[in-house]
Structure 1
Amino acid sequence: MIRNSKYIYSDEVIDVPSHLHAGRYFIDSLHAFGDRVALTNGEKHTSITYAEIVRDAMSIAVSLTRMGVKRGETVGVCMETRVEYWPIVIGASCTGAAINPFNIGYTADELKHVLNITKPKYMICSEIAYKLHSGTFKTMQFIETTITIGGSGQTTYEDLLKNEINYADFDVVDVDGKNDSLFVLFSSGTTGLPKGVMQTHLNVISICSLKNALNTNDRTLFITPWYHTMGLLGVLRYLQTGCDMVFLPKYETNLYLRTIERYKIKQLLLAPPVLVATSKSKAKYDVSSVIFIYSGAAPLRKDTIEDAKKKFINLKAVTQGYGMTETTLAIIRDTYEKAHLAKPGGVGFVVSGCVVKVIDIETGKVLGPNEPGEIRVKGPAVMKGYIGKDISEDFDEEGFYKTGDIGYYDDDKYFFIVDRLKELIKYKGYQVPPAEIEAVLLQHPAILDAGVAGVPHPAGELPRAFVVLQPGASVSEADIHGFIAEKLSDPKHLRGGIRFVNEIPKNPSGKILRRKLKEMVLERSKL
């Protein structure tokens, strides 16, 4: 009945529609923007309008319902980044089904793992995805119908578009918005196998109803893949505001910079590795149009922000957000209207409707300002749970989700993320955050990218650095050791050694795959 003085509560409430139906919410929102351009493919220079998305989404919803799609069933979506994604997602959301986007780049074993979690009855995929994975699809007996864009499946995407539906006549299938899953996404799997995260209609609407992290009047460039929560929910958030968005199917530095120049992009929404690579590029393109950058999916460090300001000469602000698939998107973040309050290296304030506490990882005690501990969150954006997993393992007795991330808030209730609890390197009782060492390594002019993992040792673990050099650059291990020793305290020195590699293993959202780094450590230790 009385608020805990050490919990951080948001200052505002969220306005959500009483129907709590995300399909209805998106159809209504997008319809209001008519023939305005919604999305442009920055590589192929083709566009789709809001009216076209709504028209196709309504037709797809009717077709899927006539095919037998029912509330509570699962529709799988597997394709590269392309404009048809959004009519499919929004149309399927109107049927009452749960939508399960898949990574087109999964191996056969990875795909089998995730398919056996969600068991989609219907699969909608591109021709490329079908050619890659049809063999796996055919072994999954629960997949009854395959729909392809182009034509190899039992039904084609074009078949779904043959209905002429008037907006005024269209209705959605009823759902229990608080409890019915809208999306089943997979957690990143940086430390283990992916788990199926159930995001409800309420989760999605509450995130999309928040104040904007970007200026919706300015053209924005997106790069994050759409099967990932940052790409999926990030685009949906801005579609319902009428934003003019440009996207790229893949990241390539020159293409990215060329797209900024051609389309006079004002805002970038990206993950830190993209900003690092873009800022360090020597290619000559006019990127003076960029005035605002919002970063997510992984920590963004102060030195990266400084490099970005040098690259984008008219940049007014670089802001961040902190979230995960389990919180549907950012649950702590900066906003466009409060960008002037952003602090270097920080991730912002608690979003509307949510509560955050910080817990001592040893004692369970609730901590106050400037005391690092595990971040735990509660609110309408927090997932329903994992498929097939008891939620008691992931939520505490007060209903707070245990994020497994270490962070703290300052006296202004502004948050900073330190590292993942499971990723901390333990050296002689010291807790060493690998992300902190990585951030310092990236300050070295010869280093393009870096990852740090612990090497087993009687003292616990020793930090080892995996380093990718800038093209044409040269630096010795001794130089790197000295660079780290000069900037970081003794427990954070690279006693586990340095390895030069061609790339750092990451998932599509830009997070370092720690388990892959661990495998690289073990491989070398066996030699």
Structure 2
Amino acid sequence: MANPSLNITMSEDNIITTPDVAIKPTQSMGWFMFTNMKKHKDNIAQIDAKTGQKDTFGQLLQRSIRTALHMSDRKISRGDVITLCTRNHLNAAVPYIATQFVGAVIGSIDPSFSEQEMNHLLNTIRSKMIFAIPESVPVLEKVLQEISLDAEIVVFGQSDKHTEFSDFLKPHVGEEGYEPVKIDNLKDTAVIHFSSGTTGLPKGICISHYTFIGQMINSRFIDTPNDTYVKNVTKDISLPLTHLGYTSLYWVSAGAMLIGSTITGHCRLVCETFDGPEFWNYIQKYKPCFVMLTPVQAIEALANVRKDVDVQCVLNFTVIGSSISKEYLFKVLETFPNAHLGAGYGQTEVCGPLTMLVPNDKHHAVLRANPDKIETAGVPVRGTSYKVVDTDTEKTVGFNQPGELRVKSTFVMNGYYNKDCSDTFDEDGWLKTGDIVYYDEDFCFYVVDRIKEAFKYQGWFIAPTVLENELMNHPAVKIAVVVGIPKDDGHHPMGLVVLKDGFRVREEEIEKFVEERVSERQRLRAGVKFIESVPLTVTGKVMRRKLKQMVLEGKI
């Protein structure tokens, strides 16, 4: 079977294939960013959302070159691991770019991490240099001593004890005519991004130059509306074409936004932390064309909609990290009438999308216009093969049958850093995504849940996301998380609910609401409990294991 309009074919044994990538990478990440930043040197590269301070690509490039030269003076070179531990600010991206210029590897951590998490991550990658905000220095000093690591700390700000980042921005001999280090093998590791950590300690995922640049070409050249179209909609030729997102460079999506902006010459709005009301101020002031939020951020933003803000500028609204209920997807479309609803599903292990729907493809547009497909994560991307496997029998299944997604791709990771990854692949070499999905006759994929987050009741498979979506349909529910509570006959689903402001309802009413809408085996047998908030990872994902542990310990 095939779908010629989408260049997708499926064999008799239900293996889905796509054509090879249209354009293959020919440059390392350092050279790729260097040449594109020079090309767009007069464009606005980034704006500090709070202060309004701006950088052109030319200014950002100059600081990156100077930092790279000062790093070389300190003998930073091929194979060394450099770490960022910082919130978003105008200089946060400079060491990231400079690391690629000198041919080293970037592996970032987030300043909100606990001492235990930093200990684990830094002991994994053994960084040679760490660029950090002042608040993180005390815990970094302690961790470096604990793991016996002699890494230089460079501080974004003032320090009496460590090197200040301002030293790296001083003029340097050789900056005129500077060129990045040549990388002969584009399959060498360029970046280490860590897994989300929702089901255990994060693993360092090794991503090559070829994979990172290839995925950017595979998606960015397709999914960005052309400049003329954007200008016609926004009616303001003085504004840069701007992306609004909040993830730090710890996460692959922020790295993708940074590198993608160098391809398009578009501007990133640099935001330190998410705040619902402030989000609308940024829409009003900067008129971003592209918005990327986590589900929790999107829910918060939609709870604070301001009718006085002109939203005509928003042309693409994407929810990243995990799924969100169709109630909120329809509300996004209602709130932002000009926006294409970005659809996509990916993994850090392939450095980007495995399925997507993009606004500039007429065949994708037909699928996106179908309200029955509002929850789709998109269709297969180039350079990847797919199979969906029954979790009990390991047999490949077909249309509308849920199972674990497994893929083969030209963009699969080099492996986990200093850790065996053989159990991540099946015996035929397919990457096991760990996600339960299904696909329909149009090859639109739908993500049901994570295997490790799912559980069984009396042998029946229970997907928390399905129940969470039902909970979110209740008018009083703001955020919902479902966990499995161990019992003799398996796990009983429990709903943990954050209520919307001003709503008063009993827990039993919420439980009854769900019971009337699901099958008998999916009932919330462990009941519903109201909570004030949910703990999140730095990428905005719900920490289910922590919530479940709190329930089991009687803290909820």
Under a length normalisation based on structure 2, what TM-score does the superposition of the two structures give?
A: 0.89
Question: Following TM superposition, by how much is the alpha carbon of 1:198 offset from its aligned partner in structure 2, in angstroms?
Answer: 0.9
Question: Following TM superposition, by how much is the alpha carbon of 1:308 offset from its aligned partner in structure 2, in angstroms?
Answer: 1.7
| 1:92 match: secondary structure | helix
Match of 1:399 in 2: 429
**Aligned residue identity for 2:197:** G
Match of 1:485 in 2: 515
2:144 to 134, 137, 157: 137
Question: Following TM superposition, by how much is the alpha carbon of 1:326 offset from its aligned partner in structure 2, in angstroms?
Answer: 1.4
Match of 1:59 in 2: 66
Task: Pick closer, same or farther for the CA change 1:95–1:463 going to 2, 3 Å.
Answer: same
Post-superposition CA distance 1:159-195 (Å, at most 9, x none): 2222357787222223354442211121111111111
On the 8 A contact 1:72/1:180 being kept in 2, the answer is no
Match of 2:460 in 1: 430
* RMSD value, Cα: 2.1
Question: Following TM superposition, by how much is the alpha carbon of 1:155 offset from its aligned partner in structure 2, in angstroms?
Answer: 2.3
On the 8 A contact 2:69/2:175 being kept in 1, the answer is no
Match of 1:308 in 2: 332
Under a length normalisation based on structure 1, what TM-score does the superposition of the two structures give?
A: 0.94
Which segment is superposed worse, 489-498 or 166-175?
166-175
Could you tell me how far apart the structure 2 residues matched to 1:388 and 1:144 are? 18
2:551 to 506, 518, 521: 521
Match of 2:19 in 1: 11
Structure 2, gaps ≥5 residues long = 1-8, 228-240
Task: Pick closer, same or farther for the CA change 1:47–1:467 going to 2, 3 Å.
Answer: same
1:105 to 78, 103, 112: 112
Task: Pick closer, same or farther for the CA change 1:3–1:163 going to 2, 3 Å.
Answer: farther
**Aligned residue identity for 2:110:** N
| 2:553 match: secondary structure | helix
Equivalent runs, 1:318-337 vs 2, <5 Å: 318-337=341-360
Could you tell me how far apart the structure 2 residues matched to 1:234 and 1:380 are? 21
Task: Pick closer, same or farther for the CA change 1:521–1:381 going to 2, 3 Å.
Answer: same
| 2:281 match: secondary structure | helix
2:213 to 186, 205, 209: 205
Question: Following TM superposition, by how much is the alpha carbon of 1:208 offset from its aligned partner in structure 2, in angstroms?
Answer: 1.4
Question: Following TM superposition, by how much is the alpha carbon of 1:12 offset from its aligned partner in structure 2, in angstroms?
Answer: 4.8
Post-superposition CA distance 1:115-137 (Å, at most 9, x none): 11001011111223325533333
Post-superposition CA distance 1:297-334 (Å, at most 9, x none): 1013211111222333x244212211122121222112
Task: Pick closer, same or farther for the CA change 1:520–1:9 going to 2, 3 Å.
Answer: same
**Aligned residue identity for 2:153:** T
On the 8 A contact 2:66/2:175 being kept in 1, the answer is no
On the 8 A contact 2:63/2:169 being kept in 1, the answer is yes
| 2:264 match: secondary structure | coil
Match of 2:288 in 1: 265
On the 8 A contact 1:405/1:419 being kept in 2, the answer is yes
Match of 1:88 in 2: 95
Matched, 1:297 2:297: no
Could you tell me how far apart the structure 2 residues matched to 1:205 and 1:177 are? 13
Identity %, equivalent residues: 28
Post-superposition CA distance 1:190-238 (Å, at most 9, x none): 1111111111111111111113334364432112222111222233223
Equivalent runs, 1:18-57 vs 2, <5 Å: 18=26, 20-57=27-64
Match of 1:148 in 2: 155
Matched, 1:215 2:208: no
Could you tell me how far apart the structure 2 residues matched to 1:491 and 1:399 are? 35
| 1:256 match: secondary structure | helix
On the 8 A contact 1:324/1:330 being kept in 2, the answer is yes
Task: Pick closer, same or farther for the CA change 1:282–1:288 going to 2, 3 Å.
Answer: closer
Could you tell me how far apart the structure 2 residues matched to 1:121 and 1:296 are? 32
Question: Following TM superposition, by how much is the alpha carbon of 1:21 offset from its aligned partner in structure 2, in angstroms?
Answer: 1.1
On the 8 A contact 1:375/1:402 being kept in 2, the answer is yes
Structure 1 segments, 4+ long, off by >6 Å, are: 165-168
Task: Pick closer, same or farther for the CA change 1:16–1:128 going to 2, 3 Å.
Answer: farther
Which segment is superposed worse, 254-263 or 130-139?
130-139
**Aligned residue identity for 1:48:** D
Task: Pick closer, same or farther for the CA change 1:164–1:33 going to 2, 3 Å.
Answer: farther
Could you tell me how far apart the structure 2 residues matched to 1:501 and 1:452 are? 12
**Aligned residue identity for 1:421:** I
Task: Pick closer, same or farther for the CA change 1:132–1:388 going to 2, 3 Å.
Answer: closer
Match of 1:121 in 2: 128
Post-superposition CA distance 1:30-88 (Å, at most 9, x none): 21111211111212222211111111111111211121012111111111111212221
Structure 1, gaps ≥5 residues long = none
Could you tell me how far apart the structure 1 residues matched to 2:261 and 2:428 are? 33
Could you tell me how far apart the structure 2 residues matched to 1:287 and 1:488 are? 39
Match of 2:266 in 1: 243
Matched, 1:274 2:297: yes
Could you tell me how far apart the structure 2 residues matched to 1:521 and 1:460 are? 17
On the 8 A contact 1:14/1:206 being kept in 2, the answer is no
Task: Pick closer, same or farther for the CA change 1:139–1:457 going to 2, 3 Å.
Answer: closer
Could you tell me how far apart the structure 1 residues matched to 2:150 and 2:263 are? 32
Task: Pick closer, same or farther for the CA change 1:476–1:111 going to 2, 3 Å.
Answer: same
